[in-house]
Amino acid sequence: MNGNEFASLDRQATGMVDPQNWMVILDGRLVLATLVLAGLATLAFILRLATGKAMPGRIGQGLLGLAALTSLGQLIDRYAYMIRIDPHYWPLSNLFESVMFVVFAILAIHLVIDRTYKAPGFGLVSAGLVTIIISLASLLPPRLRDASPLVPSLQSYWIKIHVTLMLVSYAAFALSFVAAVLYLFFHYRNQFLQPRSIGAMAARQPENHTALMDLLDELTYRLIMLGFPILAFGIITGGLWANHAWGTYWSWDPKETWALITWLVYAAYLHARMSRDWQGAKAAWFAVAGFVSVLITYLGVNYLATGLHTYGKLL
């Protein structure tokens, strides 16, 4: 990110470009700080798993806490800058902003979950995921990173409710994906890794291995239980907003359709879990499939389709 991000807004607001505005500079530095902190946390968690010592893990958690603060600060800074130009503005209005909010939500949920479950390897994969997400988001073209006044259909209080709910659910599902991937890693590790490979120390004894697998399976389930009703409320509020903006609650827009498909996939997961006692690898693969549907809902339709929700295609 750089000072050119808000150039168009400065031009509209004052007739001049002010790339040296301190809030513009702070925005980019907070994004960079979040990336660096998440990257350092990833290294700390790798050290924790490699050495078996607790201190690097505590350092990693502290770094993720700081990353949560810097990511929140970046969203607040952008909001404070833009609200002077567009009173309807909310810092979830383009792809980059929504990604940064998902990063914040992932970090916040992770910190709460870790205090409860303390699953081995969970911090490493969460920190690594955040590092990758921010790195990829920083490569987005300026038109998908630049803040700009909202188009008329987005100038509504519903954007604060609907979009926030949807993105929080995506963050919960992203962490359920992390837990499911960890489960599958430990489940299949003996087929691909030597016993002394990274992560094996967490499951050297059979009873520890069983406890770890049960923990990751439960964690996947709990995170999906968190995201599922939030997604449902997000879809409902999206329908209310659509009726306010376009005069119809549902139009089978690609984004709407895939949001419904994603909800049905996770509904099927929960049904299989509760009524058929699906656990273990089958449930983990189901959670992975659910997150693939999330990615299609969030990003895929921007590649493959055009609809009422397509305000900026990735390509």
pLDDT tens per residue, range 165-216: 999 999 999 999 999 999 998 888 756 655 444 444 444 444 567 788 889 9
pLDDT band at 249, cuts 50/70/90?
Answer: confident
Residue 271, pLDDT > 80, answer yes
Domain span holding position 217? 168-315
Q: Establish how many alpha carbons lie within 13 A of residue 291's alpha carbon, considering only the half-sphere containing its beta carbon.
A: 19
**Residue 226 and residue 85 in one domain:** no
Same domain, 201 and 267: yes
Residues 80, 174 within the same domain: no
pLDDT given for residue 306 in this prediction: 57
Distance CA 216, CA 93 (A): 34
**Domain assignment of residue 157, yes or no:** no
Give the residue from 150, 181, 206 where a domain finishes. 150
Quick one: pLDDT at residue 156? 79
Residues 173, 138 share a domain:
no
Q: What is the DSSP string of 256-311?
A: HHHHHHHHHHHHHHHHHHHHS---HHHHHHHHHHHHHHHHIIIIIHHHH---TT-S
| Predicted structure pTM score | 0.84
| Cβ partners under 8 Å of residue 14, min gap 6 | none
Task: Single out the residue in 91, 119, 150 at which a domain terminates.
Answer: 150
Closest CA to 133 of 238, 35, 280: 35
Question: Is position 159 within any domain?
Answer: no
In angstroms, what is the C-alpha Rg of the chain? 21
Q: Which residue has the higher pLDDT, 23 or 96?
A: 96
Residue 39 inside a domain? The answer is: yes
Is 156 among the domain residues? no
Same domain membership, residue 285 and residue 178: yes
Q: Are residues 57 and 176 in the same domain?
A: no
**Which range among 5-9, 79-83, 296-300 shows the weakest confidence by mean pLDDT?**
5-9
Residue type, 69: L
Asked if residue 200 and residue 62 are part of one domain, the reply reads: no
Selection from 231, 195, 242, 188 nearest residue 213 by Cα? 188
Position 161 in a domain: no
pLDDT score of 12:
42
Highest mean pLDDT among 49-63, 148-162, 207-221, 299-313: 49-63
Domain total for the chain?
2
Contact of 121 with 49, CB cutoff 8 Å? yes
Whether 254 and 224 share a structural domain: yes
Place of tokens 């607790």: 54
Give me the residue label for tokens 């929504």. 98
In a domain, 297, yes or no: yes
Query: Is the domain of 91 the same as that of 172?
Result: no
Among 67-81, 150-164, 279-293, the range scoring the smallest mean pLDDT is 150-164
